[in-house]
């Protein structure tokens, strides 16, 4: 398995990984303007980009996912709940779905809360073992923080949904599992993000203060500490769902 993390604009983190032996790869959370980087990296690795995935419809940056998918002839993937929301065809992902990339297996976890369509990607490298190796957490779980719950409105309700996603989906995973989030310090998609671009479930369980709160306290804290909305958010979302 090969794995690359790309730090890009708006403190975003994008991912490119796959199975070199079978020549297949996936691009995750591509930022507009970075499409050439993914194509160049695919050429260096001698792989075909088989899927392009956005973990949710982004509100803080323009997505390059659909443009990259069109350029390489791959499906552009979003969670199935975006059907009727975005104004173009895409390949819908559903909870529990497995994507096969040679020895690399990707299990889709629907983890709403930051947005209704948020997904995390649980990744296994069969060459290393049967247990998952890492999870790409999008804007659901950051290093030292969690996603903001207000972008879709109904802040308290969405904060409760986020609590449930964290505690029933991510925190049930093994402590040693690595996490790779969608943003690091400087992002407007959460409060108190670390500048470290990765962590583990166990470390976050121990040191991420939001994860130690009960449901009521979690909702109260998140709704009391919402950062300013991303600059140009409405314009960015409109562009990311436009035909």
Distance CA(54)–CA(90), nearest Å, equals: 11
Alpha helices in the chain (DSSP H): 35-45, 65-72, 155-165, 201-207, 215-224, 233-241
**pLDDT classification of 166: cutoffs 50, 70, 90:** very high
Q: Give residue-wise pLDDT tens across range 186-216.
A: 887 778 889 999 999 999 999 999 999 999 9
**pLDDT classification of 122: cutoffs 50, 70, 90:** very high
Q: Give residue-wise pLDDT tens across range 171-190.
A: 999 999 999 999 998 887 77
Strand order in the sheet with 2-7: 2-7, 13-19, 24-28, 48-53, 76-79, 91-93
Say which DSSP state 192 is in: S
pLDDT reported for residue 109: 98
**Stated pTM of the model:** 0.97
Specify whether the CB–CB gap between 40 and 215 falls below 8 A. no
Distance CA(203)–CA(19), nearest Å, equals: 28
Three-state SS at 212: helix
Specify whether the CB–CB gap between 105 and 154 falls below 8 A. no
Distance CA(194)–CA(177), nearest Å, equals: 18
pLDDT at 9 over 80: no
């Amino acid at each position: 398995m090969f794995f690359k993390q790309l730090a890009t604009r708006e403190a975003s983190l994008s991912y490119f990984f796959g199975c070199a032996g079978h020549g297949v790869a996936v691009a995750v959370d591509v930022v507009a303007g970075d499409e050439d980087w993914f194509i160049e990296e695919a050429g260096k690795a001698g792989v075909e980009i088989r899927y392009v995935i956005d973990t949710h419809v982004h509100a803080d940056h323009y997505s390059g996912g659909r443009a990259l998918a069109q350029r390489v002839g791959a499906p552009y993937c979003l969670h199935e709940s975006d059907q009727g929301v975005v104004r173009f065809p895409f390949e819908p992902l559903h909870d529990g779905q497995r994507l096969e990339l040679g020895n690399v297996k990707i299990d889709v976890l629907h983890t709403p809360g930051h947005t209704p369509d948020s997904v995390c990607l649980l990744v296994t490298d069969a060459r290393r073992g049967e247990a998952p190796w890492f999870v790409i957490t999008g804007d659901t779980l950051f290093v030292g923080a969690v996603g903001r719950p207000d972008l879709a409105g109904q802040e308290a309700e969405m904060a409760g949904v986020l609590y449930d996603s964290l505690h029933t989906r991510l925190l049930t995973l093994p402590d040693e599992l690595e996490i790779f989030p969608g943003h690091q310090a400087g992002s407007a998609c959460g409060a108190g993000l670390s500048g470290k671009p990765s962590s583990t479930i166990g470390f976050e369980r121990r040191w991420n203060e939001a994860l130690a709160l009960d449901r009521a306290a979690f909702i109260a804290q998140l709704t009391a500490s919402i950062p300013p909305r991303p600059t140009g958010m409405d314009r960015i979302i409109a562009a990311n769902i436009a035909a």
